[in-house]
């Protein structure tokens, strides 16, 4: 069978974007949009893609950086399918394995933006990082500091060569968080004052919020074969996503500098990012994180299966409309309209979003995407919201394992096993406490402030309620417990 590079060719254009990350999300979101902007808006810009940690870039080399984004879903009431071969990836460099190649990208005079997605765990400062000119820092912000310094020196501090950082990591104030880390490196590494000033006054770190469900390469052999059959060629980098997309950039002033918004790829520029962020993180991501771990234990595999199951669906309805939406700071009407769209997206029959993919790093996700809502709900109503409380119990049940796998823990669902993926320190803590009696396990996990940023046993009644859920799940099964909870008013 043909390969994607037998049916298309890359188009060389000025590189305007340095992209840190080669993951499924960025490839189906940023490159998709830039390709459209090149085609329909004459943006005339390409992307230099950096693989932040891994040495692996063979798939890109093999395919001359070409790959296909396949959009599947409903649009304006009818079935929508789009297969687009992405042609805007100019080069792919592995930062750790070709550090000088990475730094050389800083010399490109057409560069304007740095877009990153290094997961919720990527924006951090590591005090063991050394300021060695030839050695990549461990973290993405460390590498970015090295990159900015190289650019500053190469262009002798020219103001028009400063860069705008547009991180898309789903954390609070991602632009501010990235800037803070970069300045920590500049200060700890005692870098020159003029460079610090150039980064501070000429570069910009702008917070942004992305939204598109991307499931990546198909998981089942049959689906892979069907996709290749439909395309007429093979593509190891094939990336499946929904048609919906939204990128909100928290600086109204950037609109002219970044003219990429089109009907197919909607980019909004605003000075009020927080309203968008709260709505999306609490409703969409909060619904995912509070539903999927229990639903997986209850026998479900995909988000679509949950939507089709009346018991899980009732949980979703009661938690989204009864517990989450009342805490969102916007009119109920607008929040409900957003939730209705999210439901339609979760029901998309063409995009199979695996619950186990969403389960990755659930401790940090629950902390960022559910805990603030739980606390606001308690403050509003004076009682524990039943489903968000249950969702913590479901997380603790999903994670409870003493069995180590390869970089993960191994959980049991009936006679089957599944992998639990999280930060190594988190898994080590779980593993050493999983064998305790339910109440002790719950207390140990909830009191571990490095998971949640605080000791959750201080929230009145929460540990007791979570323990009761855990015991009831063990007694009657997770599905029966969800059904029983749904009946309670
Ligand atoms: N998949 C989606 O539907 C979707 C939608 C919106 C946002 N996101 C965000 O995108 C992130 C990545 O999702 P994906 O589907 O592309 O996953 P992926 O596994 O395909 O890609 C993960 C990327 O993050 C990098 N990475 C991981 N840990 C890192 C670290 N500690 N430091 C530096 N780089 C690191 C990897 O090298 C890779 O580039 C998610 O965490 C999520 O916050 C995903
Ligand atoms: O991508 P993650 O792993 O951070 O979170 C899982 C999902 O909640 C997430 O991918 C959503 O589908 C996405 O945020 C939609 O824009």
Question: How does pLDDT run across 118-169, given as a tens digit for each residue?
Answer: 988 899 999 999 888 889 999 999 999 999 999 999 999 999 999 999 999 9
Q: Report the separation in Å between the CA atom of 119 and the middle of ligand 1, taken as the mean of its atom positions.
A: 4
Average pLDDT over the chain reads 96
pLDDT range class, residue 255, cuts 50, 70, 90: very high
Mutating to test ligand 2, I would choose from 73, 121, 170, 247 the residue with most ligand atoms within 8 A of its C-beta, which is 170
Please check the confidence at residue 174 and state whether its pLDDT lies above 90.
yes
pLDDT range class, residue 54, cuts 50, 70, 90: confident
Protein residues whose CB sits closer than 6 Å to any atom of ligand 1: 21-26, 52-54, 117-122, 140, 170, 210, 212-214, 216
| Residue closest to 126 by CA, chosen among 176, 200, 188 | 188
CA distance 242 to 348: 8
Atom of ligand 2 nearest to the CA of 289: 8
CA distance 142 to 389: 38
- 314-362 pLDDT, tens per residue? 999 999 999 999 999 999 999 999 999 999 999 999 999 999 999 999 9
**Where would I find the H helices in 189-257?**
193-201, 221-231
Q: Report the separation in Å between the CA atom of 28 and the middle of ligand 2, taken as the mean of its atom positions.
A: 13
Q: How many CB atoms lie within 10 A of CB 452?
A: 18
357: alpha, beta or left, given left = phi > 0 and alpha = psi -120 to 50?
Answer: alpha
Mean pLDDT value across residues 247-276? 95
Q: C-alpha distances in angstroms, 103 versus 60, 144, 147, 150, 188?
A: 20, 10, 6, 7, 21
Whole-number pLDDT of residue 121:
81
Whole-number pLDDT of residue 106:
98
* % of residues, the chain, pLDDT over 90: 95
Mean pLDDT value across residues 442-463? 98
Whole-number pLDDT of residue 115:
98
- 349-379 pLDDT, tens per residue? 999 999 999 999 999 999 999 999 999 999 9
Please check the confidence at residue 76 and state whether its pLDDT lies above 80.
no
pLDDT range class, residue 78, cuts 50, 70, 90: confident
Residue 401: φ, ψ to 5°: -150, 140
The encoded tokens of residue 460 equal 């009145």
pLDDT range class, residue 74, cuts 50, 70, 90: confident
pTM of this prediction?
0.94
Mean pLDDT value across residues 207-212? 98
Hey, is 141 helix, strand or coil? helix
CB 441 within 8 A of CB 447: no
Sequence-separated (6 or more) residues with CB below 8 Å from residue 308: none
Nearest-CA residue for atom 8 of ligand 1: 25
CB 19 within 8 A of CB 47: yes
pLDDT range class, residue 427, cuts 50, 70, 90: very high
CA atoms within 13 A on the CB side of 12: 0
Q: Which residues of 312-348 are buried (b: 16+ CB within 10 A; e: fewer)?
A: bbbbbebbbeebbbebbeeeeeebeebbeebbebbbb
Radius of gyration, CA atoms only, the chain: 23
pLDDT range class, residue 109, cuts 50, 70, 90: very high
Q: Report the separation in Å between the CA atom of 461 and the middle of ligand 1, taken as the mean of its atom positions.
A: 35
Please check the confidence at residue 298 and state whether its pLDDT lies above 80.
yes
Domain layout of the chain by residue ranges? 4-269, 273-487
Please check the confidence at residue 77 and state whether its pLDDT lies above 80.
no
Task: Quickly name the fold that domain 273-487 has.
Answer: 1.10.1040
Mean pLDDT value across residues 411-416? 96
What is the domain class of 4-269 according to CATH? alpha beta
CA distance 367 to 187: 30
CA distance 266 to 77: 19
């Amino acid at each position: 069978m043909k390969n994607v590079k037998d049916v298309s060719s890359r188009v060389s254009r000025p590189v305007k974007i340095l992209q840190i990350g080669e993951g499924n999300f960025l490839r189906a979101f940023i490159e998709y949009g830039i390709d459209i902007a090149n085609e329909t808006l004459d943006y005339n810009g390409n992307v230099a893609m950096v693989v932040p940690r891994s040495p692996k870039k063979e798939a890109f080399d093999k395919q001359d950086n070409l790959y296909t984004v396949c959009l599947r879903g409903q649009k304006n009431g009818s079935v929508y399918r789009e297969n687009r071969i992405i042609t805007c990836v100019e080069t792919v460099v592995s930062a750790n394995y070709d550090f000088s190649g990475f730094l050389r990208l800083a010399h490109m005079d057409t560069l304007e933006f740095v877009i990153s997605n290094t997961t919720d765990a990527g924006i951090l400062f590591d005090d063991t990082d050394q300021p060695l000119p030839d050695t990549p820092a461990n973290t993405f912000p460390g590498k970015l500091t090295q990159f900015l310094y190289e650019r500053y020196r190469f262009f002798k501090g020219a103001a028009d060569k400063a860069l705008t950082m547009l991180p898309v990591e789903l954390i609070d104030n991602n632009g501010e968080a990235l800037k803070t880390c970069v300045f920590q490196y500049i200060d700890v590494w005692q870098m020159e004052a003029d460079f610090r000033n150039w980064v501070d006054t000429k570069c910009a770190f702008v917070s942004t919020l992305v939204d598109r469900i991307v499931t990546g390469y198909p998981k089942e052999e049959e689906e892979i074969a069907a996709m290749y059959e439909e395309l007429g060629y093979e593509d190891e980098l094939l990336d499946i996503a929904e048609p919906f997309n939204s990128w909100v950039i928290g600086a109204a002033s950037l609109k002219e500098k970044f003219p990429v918004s089109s009907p197919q790829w909607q980019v909004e520029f605003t000075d009020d990012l927080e309203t968008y962020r709260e709505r999306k993180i609490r409703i969409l991501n909060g619904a995912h994180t509070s539903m999927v771990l229990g639903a997986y234990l209850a026998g479900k595999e995909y988000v679509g299966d949950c939507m089709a199951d009346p018991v899980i669906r009732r949980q979703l309805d009661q938690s989204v409309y009864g517990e989450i939406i009342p805490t969102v700071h916007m009119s109920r009407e607008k929040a409900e309209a957003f939730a209705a769209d999210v439901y339609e997206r979760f029901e998309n029959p063409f995009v199979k979003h695996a619950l186990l993919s969403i389960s990755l790093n659930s401790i940090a996700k629950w902390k960022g995407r559910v805990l603030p809502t739980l606390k606001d709900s308690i403050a509003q109503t004076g009682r524990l919201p039943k489903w968000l409380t249950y969702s913590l119990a479901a997380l603790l049940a999903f994670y409870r394992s003493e069995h180590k796998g390869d970089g993960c823990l191994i959980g049991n669902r009936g006679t089957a096993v599944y992998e639990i993926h999280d930060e190594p320190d988190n898994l080590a803590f779980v593993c050493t406490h999983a064998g305790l009696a339910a109440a002790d396990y719950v207390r140990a996990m909830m009191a571990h402030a490095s998971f949640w940023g605080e000791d959750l046993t201080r929230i009145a009644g929460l540990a007791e309620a979570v323990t009761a859920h855990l015991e009831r799940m063990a007694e009657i099964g997770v599905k029966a417990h969800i059904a029983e909870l749904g009946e309670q008013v």
